[in-house]
Chain A
Amino acid sequence: MNFISPIFTHTQVQQCLVDTPAAAGNCAIETHDLTIYYGDFCAVRDINLHVELRKITAFIGPSGCGKSTVLRAFNRMNDLIPSARVEGAVLFGGQNIYAPTVDAVEVRRRVGMVFQKPNPFPKSIYENVAWGARINGYRGNLDELVERTLRHAALWDEVKDKLQQSALALSGGQQQRLCIARAIAIEPEIILMDEPASALDPIATLRIEELMRTLAQDYTIIVVTHNMQQAARVSDYTAFFMVDENRAGYMVEQGHTREIFTNPKDKRTEDYITGRFG
């Protein structure tokens, strides 16, 4: 059953108010009883979380706990998997993005995504950045947009002399920063990052993390990571996920990263973070 109208229940509003001092106005995205199935298999169940505006939120948890599934629900990427089915609601700007009147294409335009493996288009560097803007009907000067975006992604100095060369000739870390540049070129409000540094070496990882901190001034970032130090280093908020006995993922708790890592409310979080399992 789809949650159609974007109505806040009393408790949910309260929860939002309790957890975030600046109230609901700072919620970039939130979910209500989000449950996702792949065919008959329930991948995640009853997720109720919210994401702060212009902050970095990290999703952590053991493999198979549905972090990526939840992340992909935020820009309806799960629609591409024919067997996927979503129940509950994902509220983005107060609007349930799974309402029948909402076009997934519009959602993805406003909620960008960076994937685990760098996946630049097999085109020129310039074209990688410009393409998204062009297909979305960008009317301004593309050259300016490309330069501004690449500067923003801290990639301009490295690639300014080879904009017309193939993006595939870049190193893995550069490719991933290009993918981030590509995502911000269409000026989304939220950037989803699915283990963006897991395929990179520590130095490239560091650069990605620095970039994320810079981008957090303008964008809301949600990052899935297996690397706890990374979550501790870059994120402002953390949500911890677990798998239940039916292999369905659920959220254990969420809160300020400092709190989660130093003083978790839940025993399971503490066990996971201290490396007792997982």
Chain B
Amino acid sequence: MTRAHFDPRTLHRHRAAGIWSTLFLGAIIIAIVALGALLYDIVDESFGLVAIENRIDPASLARDGMPLETLDKAQLVEILTGHISAGLLRRLENDLPFEERDRANVYALVLERVVEPKIVKTWSLTDSLTNRAAIEAEVLAEYPQARLEFHAWINSTFIQSPQSSSPEFAGVRTAILGSLWTIVITIAVAFPIGVGAAIYLEEYASDTLVNRVIQTNINNLAGVPSILYGMLGLAIFVRGLEPLTSGAWLGAGDPTTANGRTVLSAGLTLALLVLPLLIINAQEAIKAVPASLRQASYGLGATRWQTIWHHVLPNALPGILTGTILAISRAIGETAPLVVVGASAFVALDPSGPFSKFTTLPIQIYQWTTRPQDQYRNLAAAAILVLLVLLLSLNAAAILLRNRYRRQG
């Protein structure tokens, strides 16, 4: 079928449109490839073969022909006392007396302290899948004592264990809790202040020079490097308000640290960081509420506050929550300001409140990537996966909330 041409220029116009749409498709493909490469890299490091060497062969710990796994608690305690130093034994006893520990706990201690499995070499997922024979040969030649097994670096133990100095037992529990505590404080502080500021700027402030200067400054603050917020946080919250942020004023401080380098300081610093972002987004959301709605409300004799509370805010809420999602994403991935504010390098205790020492997932990842041992790279990759999952679930919660309000509206 030949096409009839009423206008010979149409074909040319369609061709130009085709070129543009190809370019836009190209942009999307580049983005997807980049994202795919990133995800591949992380997953590649998070799973794979590992060669494990035990300091003591579990078979040699067998009693009366019974293998280690089947021994009862008393026998396990006996093995433990026989193989570890008196000092370590006393420390373990101090942490929790052996009478109070159950068999599983003692068994874990035996594995950790006596058998002491050590990962001597790791391989990436791609290598493990495509190069298995060569890896087996290499292990046989270089680590004759070692056994080769497939290891998922991200597993339930990894998520439930606190930080540890040996990569075989290190986990992200403290970092997850630290991140959650920090983000809760950040949002609790930044959301009301941000929305309040946006309401003032949009609904109350007149177009004066002062208000224009404030507006311009908020826009510029959104672009200030985050490390500067870290320094601000260090000066104000950690140093200046130390009695408050360490909990001393409330008598709730952690006596072992008793300084301002707490979850509270981190949360407040991140709140400052995301505040401009939140204000700008909330302002846009409030601006987007149709003027006809405001007029309808004022026309019924509503006061300014009644109009804002009953009409402007409910209609702006989905947009405000979108801004909050962006703020959460920004805050949860932020590392630099927390390093300055004083995230702890090594925290093995769960944060118990706003006055605890803290570490967060990005900090943990950063620290693991800077260690020389190969195993920490795998741990970092697994922690990145955890961070991504945490981020996605927090955002999903905010999106669900937003959709609920959108349906109501």
Contacts and interface: CB of A to CB of B under 8 A. Distances in A.
Contacts of B296: 115, 119-121, 179, 182
Name the residue in A105, A109, A120 with the highest tally of chain B Cβ atoms < 10 Å from its Cβ: A105
Contact of B295 (A105, A115, A122, A186): A115
B302 A105 contact: yes
B166 interface: no
A57 interface: no
Interface in B285-299: 290, 292-299
Interface string B302-329: 1100100011000100000000000000
A136 B409 CA distance: 23
Contacts of B81: none
B281 to A, nearest CB: 21
A131 B300 contact: yes
B301 interface: yes
Contacts of A110: 301
Interface residues on B, range: 20 to 34
A112 B297 CA distance: 11
B207 interface: yes
B257 interface: no
Contacts of B293: 119, 121-122
B315 A80 contact: no
Contacts of B311: 121
B301 A186 contact: yes
Interface string A96-110: 000000000110111
Contacts of B306: 135
Contacts of B297: 121
B294 A80 contact: yes
Contacts of A112: 299-300
B402 to A, nearest CB: 15
Interface residues on A, range: 20 to 34
Contact of A108 (B206, B294, B300): B300
A136 B301 contact: yes
B214 to A, nearest CB: 17
B23 to A, nearest CB: 39
Interface string B79-102: 000000000000000000000000
A6 interface: no
A120 B297 CA distance: 10
Name the residue in A77, A110, A117, A132 with the highest tally of chain B Cβ atoms < 10 Å from its Cβ: A132
B300 A182 contact: yes
B203 to A, nearest CB: 11
B210 to A, nearest CB: 15
A110 B301 CA distance: 8
A132 to B, nearest CB: 4
Q: Is the contact region of chain B dominated by helix, strand, or loop, or is it mixed?
A: helix
B301 A82 contact: no
Contacts of B295: 77, 80, 113, 115, 119
A257 interface: no
B298 A131 contact: no
Contacts of B290: 119
Contacts of A105: 301-303
B297 to A, nearest CB: 8
Contacts of B294: 80
Contacts of B292: 115, 117, 119
Contacts of A131: 300, 310
Name the residue in B297, B300, B311 with the highest tally of chain A Cβ atoms < 10 Å from its Cβ: B300
Contacts of A136: 300-301
A108 B207 contact: no
B315 A122 contact: yes
Interface string A49-83: 00000000000000000000000000101001010
A75 B311 CA distance: 20
Nearest to B299: A113
B300 A183 contact: yes
B298 A108 contact: yes
Contacts of A135: 300-303, 306, 310
Contact of A80 (B207, B298, B301, B409): B298
A30 B94 CA distance: 91
Nearest to B304: A105
B303 A82 contact: no
A109 B293 CA distance: 16
A75 B299 contact: yes
A131 B409 CA distance: 15
12 contacts: A105-B302, A108-B299, A108-B300, A108-B301, A112-B299, A119-B292, A121-B293, A121-B296, A121-B297, A131-B300, A131-B310, A182-B300
Interface of B: 206-207, 290, 292-303, 306, 310-311, 315, 409
Given A77-B295, A115-B296, 9 more contacts: A82-B206, A108-B299, A108-B301, A113-B295, A115-B295, A115-B299, A132-B300, A135-B300, A135-B303
Interface of A: 75, 77, 80, 82, 105-106, 108-110, 112-113, 115, 117, 119-122, 131-132, 135-136, 179, 182-183, 186
Across chains A and B, which 3 residue pairs bring their CB atoms closest together, nearest first? Answer: A109-B301, A132-B300, A119-B292
